[in-house]
Structure 1
Amino acid sequence: MRKRKTRINSVNMILFCVLFSLIMVVYHQVYWPLFLFVTIVGCIGFTRVLIKQKLQLRLKKSGIEDILQMDGFQFEHYLATLFRDNGYAVKVTSARGDFGADLLLSKDGKKIAVQAKRYIKPVGIKAVQEVIAAATYYKTNESWVVATNSFTKSAKVLAHASEVKLIDKENLISMILKMNPEANEVASNTLKKIKPKDIRCKKCGGVMSVKKGKYGNFYGCSHYPRCTHTQKVGS
Protein backbone atom coordinates (compact mmCIF):
# COMPACT_ATOMS: atom_id res chain seq x y z
CA MET A 1 0.00 0.00 0.00
CA ARG A 2 2.87 2.37 0.83
CA LYS A 3 4.51 1.82 -2.59
CA ARG A 4 1.21 2.44 -4.33
CA LYS A 5 0.73 5.74 -2.46
CA THR A 6 4.28 6.79 -3.36
CA ARG A 7 3.64 6.14 -7.07
CA ILE A 8 0.36 8.09 -6.96
CA ASN A 9 2.06 11.02 -5.19
CA SER A 10 4.86 11.08 -7.80
CA VAL A 11 2.36 11.23 -10.68
CA ASN A 12 0.29 13.90 -8.94
CA MET A 13 3.39 16.05 -8.34
CA ILE A 14 4.40 15.87 -12.02
CA LEU A 15 0.88 16.78 -13.20
CA PHE A 16 0.72 19.63 -10.68
CA CYS A 17 3.97 21.17 -11.98
CA VAL A 18 2.79 21.03 -15.59
CA LEU A 19 -0.65 22.46 -14.80
CA PHE A 20 0.83 25.18 -12.61
CA SER A 21 3.19 26.25 -15.42
CA LEU A 22 0.29 26.31 -17.89
CA ILE A 23 -1.74 28.53 -15.58
CA MET A 24 1.21 30.89 -15.23
CA VAL A 25 1.48 31.10 -19.02
CA VAL A 26 -2.21 31.90 -19.34
CA TYR A 27 -1.85 34.73 -16.84
CA HIS A 28 1.44 35.90 -18.41
CA GLN A 29 3.41 35.11 -15.30
CA VAL A 30 5.98 32.87 -16.98
CA TYR A 31 7.65 32.64 -20.40
CA TRP A 32 6.79 29.91 -22.90
CA PRO A 33 10.32 28.48 -22.89
CA LEU A 34 10.06 27.85 -19.17
CA PHE A 35 6.69 26.18 -19.60
CA LEU A 36 8.13 24.02 -22.37
CA PHE A 37 11.05 23.03 -20.15
CA VAL A 38 8.75 22.10 -17.24
CA THR A 39 6.50 20.12 -19.59
CA ILE A 40 9.42 18.11 -21.00
CA VAL A 41 10.75 17.38 -17.53
CA GLY A 42 7.25 16.37 -16.44
CA CYS A 43 6.81 14.03 -19.40
CA ILE A 44 10.18 12.39 -18.71
CA GLY A 45 9.30 11.93 -15.05
CA PHE A 46 5.86 10.57 -15.90
CA THR A 47 7.38 8.08 -18.37
CA ARG A 48 9.88 6.89 -15.77
CA VAL A 49 7.06 6.29 -13.28
CA LEU A 50 5.10 4.26 -15.84
CA ILE A 51 8.16 2.17 -16.73
CA LYS A 52 8.85 1.51 -13.04
CA GLN A 53 5.23 0.47 -12.49
CA LYS A 54 5.40 -1.90 -15.47
CA LEU A 55 8.60 -3.52 -14.15
CA GLN A 56 7.13 -3.93 -10.67
CA LEU A 57 3.99 -5.52 -12.12
CA ARG A 58 6.16 -7.92 -14.16
CA LEU A 59 8.05 -8.99 -11.03
CA LYS A 60 4.83 -9.46 -9.09
CA LYS A 61 3.25 -11.62 -11.81
CA SER A 62 6.34 -13.83 -12.03
CA GLY A 63 6.26 -14.65 -8.31
CA ILE A 64 10.00 -13.98 -8.08
CA GLU A 65 9.67 -12.46 -4.61
CA ASP A 66 8.31 -15.77 -3.29
CA ILE A 67 10.93 -17.71 -5.24
CA LEU A 68 13.69 -15.72 -3.54
CA GLN A 69 12.29 -16.85 -0.17
CA MET A 70 12.70 -20.53 -1.12
CA ASP A 71 15.59 -22.81 -0.29
CA GLY A 72 17.16 -25.04 -2.93
CA PHE A 73 14.81 -27.96 -2.21
CA GLN A 74 11.70 -25.82 -2.62
CA PHE A 75 13.11 -24.21 -5.77
CA GLU A 76 13.62 -27.62 -7.37
CA HIS A 77 10.03 -28.59 -6.67
CA TYR A 78 8.75 -25.24 -7.91
CA LEU A 79 10.54 -25.75 -11.23
CA ALA A 80 9.22 -29.32 -11.40
CA THR A 81 5.65 -28.03 -11.06
CA LEU A 82 6.24 -25.26 -13.59
CA PHE A 83 7.61 -27.64 -16.24
CA ARG A 84 5.04 -30.33 -15.49
CA ASP A 85 2.21 -27.84 -16.01
CA ASN A 86 3.70 -27.10 -19.44
CA GLY A 87 3.61 -30.65 -20.74
CA TYR A 88 7.02 -31.90 -19.61
CA ALA A 89 7.50 -35.28 -17.98
CA VAL A 90 9.53 -34.43 -14.89
CA LYS A 91 11.67 -36.51 -12.59
CA VAL A 92 13.15 -34.98 -9.45
CA THR A 93 16.40 -36.82 -8.72
CA SER A 94 17.42 -37.88 -5.23
CA ALA A 95 19.31 -35.38 -3.09
CA ARG A 96 22.28 -37.75 -2.89
CA GLY A 97 23.76 -39.38 -5.95
CA ASP A 98 21.99 -37.16 -8.48
CA PHE A 99 25.05 -37.27 -10.78
CA GLY A 100 24.81 -33.53 -11.43
CA ALA A 101 21.11 -33.13 -12.30
CA ASP A 102 18.32 -31.97 -10.00
CA LEU A 103 15.59 -32.48 -12.60
CA LEU A 104 15.23 -34.62 -15.70
CA LEU A 105 12.78 -33.27 -18.28
CA SER A 106 11.29 -35.08 -21.26
CA LYS A 107 9.11 -33.63 -24.02
CA ASP A 108 8.67 -34.29 -27.76
CA GLY A 109 11.38 -36.94 -27.72
CA LYS A 110 13.90 -34.57 -26.12
CA LYS A 111 15.56 -35.24 -22.77
CA ILE A 112 17.01 -32.41 -20.67
CA ALA A 113 19.21 -32.45 -17.56
CA VAL A 114 18.60 -29.46 -15.28
CA GLN A 115 20.66 -28.03 -12.45
CA ALA A 116 18.54 -25.77 -10.20
CA LYS A 117 20.53 -23.16 -8.30
CA ARG A 118 18.78 -21.04 -5.68
CA TYR A 119 21.76 -18.77 -5.00
CA ILE A 120 22.13 -15.27 -3.59
CA LYS A 121 25.52 -14.97 -5.33
CA PRO A 122 26.51 -15.48 -8.99
CA VAL A 123 26.60 -19.15 -9.93
CA GLY A 124 30.09 -20.46 -10.66
CA ILE A 125 31.69 -22.91 -13.06
CA LYS A 126 31.04 -25.95 -10.82
CA ALA A 127 27.33 -25.97 -11.67
CA VAL A 128 28.14 -26.08 -15.39
CA GLN A 129 30.66 -28.90 -14.86
CA GLU A 130 28.08 -30.90 -12.90
CA VAL A 131 25.34 -30.59 -15.51
CA ILE A 132 27.80 -31.57 -18.27
CA ALA A 133 28.53 -34.75 -16.30
CA ALA A 134 24.80 -35.29 -15.81
CA ALA A 135 24.16 -35.03 -19.56
CA THR A 136 26.71 -37.78 -20.15
CA TYR A 137 25.41 -40.03 -17.38
CA TYR A 138 21.70 -39.65 -18.18
CA LYS A 139 22.32 -39.47 -21.96
CA THR A 140 20.28 -36.27 -22.39
CA ASN A 141 19.95 -34.13 -25.52
CA GLU A 142 20.37 -30.85 -23.65
CA SER A 143 21.65 -29.54 -20.32
CA TRP A 144 20.42 -26.42 -18.51
CA VAL A 145 21.40 -24.50 -15.40
CA VAL A 146 18.48 -22.50 -13.99
CA ALA A 147 19.44 -19.92 -11.35
CA THR A 148 17.97 -17.13 -9.26
CA ASN A 149 21.06 -15.01 -9.84
CA SER A 150 23.60 -14.31 -12.57
CA PHE A 151 26.58 -16.44 -13.68
CA THR A 152 30.30 -15.88 -13.35
CA LYS A 153 32.42 -15.26 -16.43
CA SER A 154 34.09 -18.68 -16.22
CA ALA A 155 30.69 -20.37 -16.01
CA LYS A 156 29.54 -18.54 -19.15
CA VAL A 157 32.72 -19.43 -21.06
CA LEU A 158 32.44 -23.16 -20.27
CA ALA A 159 28.69 -23.17 -20.93
CA HIS A 160 29.22 -21.59 -24.35
CA ALA A 161 31.93 -24.12 -25.25
CA SER A 162 29.82 -27.05 -24.02
CA GLU A 163 26.46 -25.85 -25.37
CA VAL A 164 24.94 -25.66 -21.90
CA LYS A 165 21.93 -23.36 -21.64
CA LEU A 166 22.23 -20.83 -18.80
CA ILE A 167 19.00 -19.31 -17.46
CA ASP A 168 19.74 -16.45 -15.07
CA LYS A 169 17.29 -14.47 -12.95
CA GLU A 170 16.06 -12.18 -15.75
CA ASN A 171 15.70 -15.05 -18.21
CA LEU A 172 13.97 -17.09 -15.50
CA ILE A 173 11.38 -14.35 -15.00
CA SER A 174 10.75 -14.15 -18.76
CA MET A 175 10.47 -17.95 -18.99
CA ILE A 176 8.05 -18.09 -16.06
CA LEU A 177 5.75 -15.41 -17.50
CA LYS A 178 5.77 -17.08 -20.92
CA MET A 179 5.06 -20.57 -19.54
CA ASN A 180 2.52 -19.62 -16.89
CA PRO A 181 0.71 -16.24 -16.55
CA GLU A 182 -0.44 -17.36 -13.06
CA ALA A 183 3.10 -18.18 -11.96
CA ASN A 184 2.85 -16.08 -8.80
CA GLU A 185 0.26 -18.52 -7.43
CA VAL A 186 2.50 -21.51 -8.20
CA ALA A 187 5.36 -19.88 -6.29
CA SER A 188 3.25 -18.97 -3.25
CA ASN A 189 1.68 -22.46 -3.16
CA THR A 190 5.14 -24.06 -3.27
CA LEU A 191 6.23 -22.01 -0.26
CA LYS A 192 3.15 -23.15 1.65
CA LYS A 193 3.15 -26.84 0.67
CA ILE A 194 6.84 -27.77 0.38
CA LYS A 195 8.79 -27.64 3.62
CA PRO A 196 12.38 -26.37 3.30
CA LYS A 197 15.19 -28.76 4.13
CA ASP A 198 17.12 -28.43 7.37
CA ILE A 199 20.90 -27.98 7.23
CA ARG A 200 23.77 -28.39 9.68
CA CYS A 201 25.07 -25.41 11.64
CA LYS A 202 28.68 -24.61 10.72
CA LYS A 203 29.38 -23.27 14.21
CA CYS A 204 28.01 -25.91 16.57
CA GLY A 205 26.81 -28.78 14.38
CA GLY A 206 23.19 -28.31 15.39
CA VAL A 207 20.20 -28.38 13.09
CA MET A 208 19.36 -25.17 11.27
CA SER A 209 15.84 -24.64 9.97
CA VAL A 210 14.29 -21.84 7.94
CA LYS A 211 12.80 -19.00 10.00
CA LYS A 212 10.82 -15.94 8.96
CA GLY A 213 12.54 -12.66 9.67
CA LYS A 214 11.92 -8.97 9.17
CA TYR A 215 13.98 -8.96 5.97
CA GLY A 216 12.95 -12.38 4.64
CA ASN A 217 13.63 -16.03 5.40
CA PHE A 218 16.88 -17.19 7.00
CA TYR A 219 18.37 -20.26 8.67
CA GLY A 220 18.40 -20.20 12.48
CA CYS A 221 20.18 -22.68 14.74
CA SER A 222 18.16 -25.04 16.96
CA HIS A 223 20.66 -24.38 19.79
CA TYR A 224 19.66 -20.71 20.02
CA PRO A 225 20.34 -18.73 22.24
CA ARG A 226 23.47 -20.77 23.04
CA CYS A 227 24.36 -20.58 19.35
CA THR A 228 23.37 -17.40 17.53
CA HIS A 229 24.68 -18.40 14.10
CA THR A 230 22.37 -17.54 11.21
CA GLN A 231 22.66 -18.07 7.48
CA LYS A 232 20.91 -16.57 4.47
CA VAL A 233 18.73 -18.89 2.41
CA GLY A 234 20.60 -19.66 -0.80
CA SER A 235 24.06 -18.92 0.58
Structure 2
Amino acid sequence: MATTPAQLADIPGLIRCETTPPDQLLAQCQEMTKEQYSHQEVYGDYCPIQMYVDCPPEDVFDYLCNINNLDEYTVSTRSFEPTDTPGLYVGWDLLAPDTRIYMRLLPNRETMTLDYHCAWDQGEELWMRYFFRVLPAQEVLGKPGSVVLWVNCHHKYYDKNPYPELAPSPDRIWVGDLWPLFYAGHLAELDNLRRILEHRHAAGLPTSVAPDPEVTS
Protein backbone atom coordinates (compact mmCIF):
# COMPACT_ATOMS: atom_id res chain seq x y z
CA MET A 1 0.00 0.00 0.00
CA ALA A 2 1.34 3.42 -0.97
CA THR A 3 1.98 6.12 1.62
CA THR A 4 -0.97 8.46 2.08
CA PRO A 5 -0.61 12.27 2.45
CA ALA A 6 -1.92 11.98 6.02
CA GLN A 7 1.00 9.76 6.99
CA LEU A 8 3.41 12.56 6.00
CA ALA A 9 1.39 15.52 7.24
CA ASP A 10 3.23 15.86 10.56
CA ILE A 11 6.72 15.87 8.97
CA PRO A 12 7.75 19.51 8.44
CA GLY A 13 9.68 20.83 5.47
CA LEU A 14 8.83 18.19 2.85
CA ILE A 15 8.75 19.44 -0.74
CA ARG A 16 6.31 17.33 -2.76
CA CYS A 17 4.02 18.03 -5.71
CA GLU A 18 1.03 17.08 -3.57
CA THR A 19 1.61 20.06 -1.24
CA THR A 20 3.78 22.44 -3.28
CA PRO A 21 2.44 23.99 -6.53
CA PRO A 22 4.82 23.63 -9.50
CA ASP A 23 5.54 27.37 -9.73
CA GLN A 24 6.42 27.48 -6.01
CA LEU A 25 8.52 24.34 -6.39
CA LEU A 26 10.52 25.88 -9.24
CA ALA A 27 10.96 29.11 -7.27
CA GLN A 28 12.30 27.19 -4.27
CA CYS A 29 14.73 25.25 -6.48
CA GLN A 30 15.94 28.53 -7.98
CA GLU A 31 16.55 29.92 -4.49
CA MET A 32 18.57 26.80 -3.62
CA THR A 33 20.71 27.16 -6.75
CA LYS A 34 23.70 29.51 -6.61
CA GLU A 35 26.00 30.80 -9.31
CA GLN A 36 28.98 30.22 -7.01
CA TYR A 37 29.60 27.87 -4.09
CA SER A 38 32.38 28.01 -1.53
CA HIS A 39 34.82 25.11 -1.30
CA GLN A 40 33.45 24.34 2.18
CA GLU A 41 29.87 24.13 0.89
CA VAL A 42 30.81 21.64 -1.79
CA TYR A 43 33.58 19.62 -0.13
CA GLY A 44 33.22 20.25 3.60
CA ASP A 45 31.88 16.84 4.65
CA TYR A 46 32.05 14.86 1.41
CA CYS A 47 34.56 14.79 -1.40
CA PRO A 48 32.92 13.45 -4.58
CA ILE A 49 34.80 13.37 -7.87
CA GLN A 50 33.97 11.78 -11.21
CA MET A 51 35.59 11.40 -14.60
CA TYR A 52 35.03 9.85 -18.01
CA VAL A 53 37.63 7.26 -19.04
CA ASP A 54 37.87 6.00 -22.62
CA CYS A 55 38.41 2.39 -21.57
CA PRO A 56 35.95 -0.51 -21.09
CA PRO A 57 34.37 -0.58 -17.62
CA GLU A 58 35.48 -4.14 -16.90
CA ASP A 59 39.09 -3.16 -17.55
CA VAL A 60 38.78 -0.06 -15.37
CA PHE A 61 37.28 -2.10 -12.55
CA ASP A 62 39.98 -4.78 -12.79
CA TYR A 63 42.66 -2.09 -12.68
CA LEU A 64 41.21 -0.53 -9.53
CA CYS A 65 40.93 -3.94 -7.85
CA ASN A 66 44.67 -4.57 -8.18
CA ILE A 67 46.27 -3.02 -5.11
CA ASN A 68 49.64 -2.92 -6.86
CA ASN A 69 48.25 -0.32 -9.25
CA LEU A 70 48.11 2.24 -6.46
CA ASP A 71 51.84 2.57 -7.12
CA GLU A 72 50.96 3.93 -10.57
CA TYR A 73 47.98 6.21 -10.29
CA THR A 74 48.02 7.55 -6.73
CA VAL A 75 50.16 10.52 -5.82
CA SER A 76 51.83 8.99 -2.79
CA THR A 77 50.81 5.44 -1.73
CA ARG A 78 53.47 2.87 -2.58
CA SER A 79 54.81 -0.66 -2.10
CA PHE A 80 51.85 -2.51 -0.60
CA GLU A 81 52.56 -5.96 0.77
CA PRO A 82 50.31 -8.54 2.47
CA THR A 83 50.28 -8.60 6.25
CA ASP A 84 49.73 -11.67 8.41
CA THR A 85 46.01 -10.76 8.45
CA PRO A 86 44.25 -12.20 5.35
CA GLY A 87 43.21 -9.47 2.93
CA LEU A 88 45.05 -6.70 4.79
CA TYR A 89 47.97 -4.92 3.11
CA VAL A 90 50.50 -2.40 4.38
CA GLY A 91 52.44 0.13 2.34
CA TRP A 92 53.89 3.61 2.59
CA ASP A 93 52.28 7.02 2.21
CA LEU A 94 55.00 9.35 0.96
CA LEU A 95 53.00 12.44 1.90
CA ALA A 96 54.51 12.15 5.38
CA PRO A 97 57.90 10.78 6.53
CA ASP A 98 57.98 7.16 7.71
CA THR A 99 54.20 6.81 7.48
CA ARG A 100 52.66 3.38 7.05
CA ILE A 101 49.24 3.02 5.47
CA TYR A 102 47.10 -0.10 5.87
CA MET A 103 44.60 -1.08 3.21
CA ARG A 104 41.83 -3.59 2.56
CA LEU A 105 39.98 -3.80 -0.79
CA LEU A 106 36.31 -4.83 -0.85
CA PRO A 107 35.06 -5.22 -4.44
CA ASN A 108 31.69 -6.27 -5.84
CA ARG A 109 32.12 -7.28 -9.45
CA GLU A 110 28.39 -7.59 -10.14
CA THR A 111 27.76 -3.91 -9.42
CA MET A 112 31.35 -2.77 -10.17
CA THR A 113 31.69 -1.11 -6.79
CA LEU A 114 34.93 -1.08 -4.83
CA ASP A 115 35.62 0.16 -1.31
CA TYR A 116 39.11 1.00 -0.12
CA HIS A 117 39.27 0.71 3.69
CA CYS A 118 42.51 2.19 5.00
CA ALA A 119 44.23 4.09 7.80
CA TRP A 120 47.58 5.60 8.65
CA ASP A 121 49.78 3.96 11.30
CA GLN A 122 47.58 0.96 12.22
CA GLY A 123 45.43 -1.70 10.59
CA GLU A 124 42.95 -2.46 13.36
CA GLU A 125 40.50 0.36 12.65
CA LEU A 126 40.37 1.15 8.94
CA TRP A 127 38.36 4.34 9.26
CA MET A 128 39.48 6.08 6.04
CA ARG A 129 37.01 4.99 3.37
CA TYR A 130 37.22 5.54 -0.38
CA PHE A 131 34.17 4.43 -2.35
CA PHE A 132 34.40 3.75 -6.10
CA ARG A 133 31.79 2.85 -8.66
CA VAL A 134 32.49 2.19 -12.33
CA LEU A 135 29.59 2.89 -14.70
CA PRO A 136 29.34 1.79 -18.35
CA ALA A 137 29.50 5.08 -20.25
CA GLN A 138 27.33 3.59 -22.99
CA GLU A 139 24.45 3.43 -20.51
CA VAL A 140 24.89 6.85 -18.90
CA LEU A 141 26.51 9.00 -21.62
CA GLY A 142 25.63 7.11 -24.78
CA LYS A 143 29.23 6.43 -25.79
CA PRO A 144 31.83 3.71 -25.19
CA GLY A 145 34.06 3.80 -22.14
CA SER A 146 33.52 4.28 -18.42
CA VAL A 147 32.48 6.82 -15.85
CA VAL A 148 34.34 6.51 -12.54
CA LEU A 149 32.67 7.86 -9.39
CA TRP A 150 34.80 8.29 -6.27
CA VAL A 151 33.50 9.54 -2.91
CA ASN A 152 35.30 10.16 0.39
CA CYS A 153 33.56 11.25 3.61
CA HIS A 154 34.94 13.51 6.34
CA HIS A 155 35.22 11.07 9.25
CA LYS A 156 35.67 12.74 12.65
CA TYR A 157 39.17 11.23 12.93
CA TYR A 158 40.34 13.55 10.16
CA ASP A 159 40.01 16.35 12.72
CA LYS A 160 42.17 14.62 15.33
CA ASN A 161 44.51 11.64 15.15
CA PRO A 162 42.90 8.86 17.22
CA TYR A 163 46.22 7.06 17.67
CA PRO A 164 48.86 9.77 18.19
CA GLU A 165 51.12 7.35 20.03
CA LEU A 166 51.60 5.39 16.78
CA ALA A 167 52.85 8.35 14.75
CA PRO A 168 56.54 8.06 13.79
CA SER A 169 57.15 11.53 15.27
CA PRO A 170 55.00 13.99 17.26
CA ASP A 171 55.38 16.71 14.62
CA ARG A 172 54.33 14.51 11.67
CA ILE A 173 51.57 16.12 9.60
CA TRP A 174 48.18 14.45 10.04
CA VAL A 175 46.16 13.27 7.05
CA GLY A 176 43.19 15.35 8.19
CA ASP A 177 45.25 18.52 7.89
CA LEU A 178 45.13 17.88 4.15
CA TRP A 179 41.33 17.58 3.88
CA PRO A 180 40.92 20.99 2.17
CA LEU A 181 43.17 19.64 -0.59
CA PHE A 182 41.46 16.24 -0.95
CA TYR A 183 39.43 17.31 -3.99
CA ALA A 184 42.48 18.55 -5.88
CA GLY A 185 44.63 15.61 -4.82
CA HIS A 186 42.04 12.99 -5.69
CA LEU A 187 41.24 14.72 -8.96
CA ALA A 188 44.93 14.53 -9.90
CA GLU A 189 44.93 10.83 -9.03
CA LEU A 190 41.79 10.11 -11.03
CA ASP A 191 43.30 11.96 -13.98
CA ASN A 192 46.44 9.83 -13.59
CA LEU A 193 44.23 6.74 -13.75
CA ARG A 194 42.48 8.05 -16.86
CA ARG A 195 45.74 8.80 -18.66
CA ILE A 196 47.22 5.40 -17.86
CA LEU A 197 44.15 3.42 -18.88
CA GLU A 198 43.42 5.41 -22.03
CA HIS A 199 47.04 5.12 -23.17
CA ARG A 200 47.13 1.35 -22.70
CA HIS A 201 43.67 0.76 -24.12
CA ALA A 202 44.41 2.81 -27.25
CA ALA A 203 47.69 0.96 -27.76
CA GLY A 204 46.12 -2.47 -27.25
CA LEU A 205 48.23 -3.10 -24.15
CA PRO A 206 47.17 -4.96 -20.99
CA THR A 207 45.43 -2.64 -18.57
CA SER A 208 47.61 -3.71 -15.65
CA VAL A 209 51.31 -4.37 -15.84
CA ALA A 210 51.66 -5.11 -12.11
CA PRO A 211 51.03 -8.64 -10.83
CA ASP A 212 47.44 -9.12 -9.71
CA PRO A 213 47.05 -10.34 -6.10
CA GLU A 214 43.93 -12.27 -5.23
CA VAL A 215 41.12 -10.03 -4.01
CA THR A 216 38.02 -11.58 -2.50
CA SER A 217 34.90 -10.59 -4.41
Q: TM-score, normalised by structure 2?
A: 0.37
Q: TM-score, normalised by structure 1?
A: 0.34
Q: Relative CO higher for 1 or 2, CA cutoff 8 Å, sep ≥ 6?
A: 2
Which one has a bigger Cα radius of gyration?
1
